[in-house]
Amino acid sequence: MTKEPIRLTKLAKRAGCAAKHPPGFLLPLLGLLPPITDPNVLVGSSTADDAAIYKLSDELALVLTTDFFTPIVDSPRDFGRVAAANALSDVYAMGGKPLSALSIVGFPDSLPATILGEILAGASEIATEAGCPIVGGHTIKSDEPIFGLAVVGTVHPNKVLSNAGAKPGDVLILTKPLGLGIISTAAKNDLDSLGAISEAIDVMTTLNKTAAEVLTRFEVHALTDVTGFGLLGHLRNITAASAVTAEVWVDAVPVLAAAREYVAASIVPGGTRANLKFLNDWVDWGADVSLENQLLLCDAQTSGGLLAAVPAAQSRDVVQALTAAGTLAASVVGRVLSAGKGRISVVQLSDLPGA
């Protein structure tokens, strides 16, 4: 009798970044932390940024981040690859270069050690591509498989990119399509009738290294990556930290085709619905923006793309450079409107005057 292969996603209640606590749970907790007074902390927790920045000298600062989650795919090697790309992304989102990493592992006694070996091998593959050796780590026993990395990177203190610098008149550029949470949920629940998980894995295992290298050649006012809080959740972090308002054009946002079909069939991760519930207090939805599109814009991504705020005058050159470099998407998806308290409007681009 042939033994059924182990499906990692069946061992986890929630998959990937959709397993994370939503912003409505986390952000109030950050407000309880004592203020950071060390002048060498250039970026801390106060702006809900992607990573911390600690200045070592006038020429060198460290980028510090950690990210881990439960399986989002069934293949152990792919799980390791996705988790590594996702963790490394936080360094790229700060304008930094990954230096080294440590593995974070929770692993059940019920699984063979060879599966963990495959997870580690997949992570090492992606880390090698990033030029970032995995130099150690820590394991615990857990009911569900958990994997991720703690990453240290470097950046020049004067070249740090954070989520706090967006300016009125900037345009918003996204470098990967949305829909990863919806597609991975379909696959986990045996509802991926289109076999879209393969494309989703290709997206999730594509490093944001190239996109970051292109963006850092231009004037970037704010930068973040799009992961568990969804496009609008991470944009909300930009608008709140930058004290601005923004507008997103729903029909300009790149979305994986299968995700549109699945969301119409109500295949949606719980993390995505939690994001939408939180963001309803921050977002003004246009009358013709459907619930399906609202969910797509709030979809909990795993290893999603970079979201950059750049001067409008440079946007064409930035998009052309990103496209020429082979990024998965290089799309202008909205703009920063004015000074404000972080609110976001979502409209159809085709409905705007002059469109």
Alpha helices in the chain (DSSP H): 23-30, 76-92, 113-130, 180-188, 197-204, 209-215, 230-242, 257-264, 270-279, 291-297, 315-324
Cα–Cα dist 244/254, whole Å: 24
Active site residue 17: yes
Asked if 65 and 91 touch (Cβ cutoff 8 Å), the reply is yes
Angstrom distances, CA of residue 213 to CA of 160, 216, 320, 321, 330? 13, 5, 14, 10, 14
Residue located via tokens 């998965």: 328
166: tokens are: 């967006």
First to last CA, the chain: 62
How many whole angstroms separate alpha carbon 36 and alpha carbon 54? 12
How far apart CA 348 and CA 351 sit, in angstroms, is 5
- Rounding to the nearest 10 degrees, give the CA dihedral for residues 346, 315, 300, 344: -30
- Three-state secondary-structure class, residue 302: coil
Cβ atoms of residues 79 and 107 within 8 Å: no
User: How is residue 291 written in tokens?
Assistant: 């619930």
CB 208 within 8 A of CB 89: yes
β-pairing verdict for 283-285 and 61-69: unpaired
Residue of 8, 12, 15, 17 marked catalytic: 17
Token pair of 157, please? 């203190």
Query: In terms of DSSP H, where are the helices of 31-68?
Result: none
Active site amino acids: 17
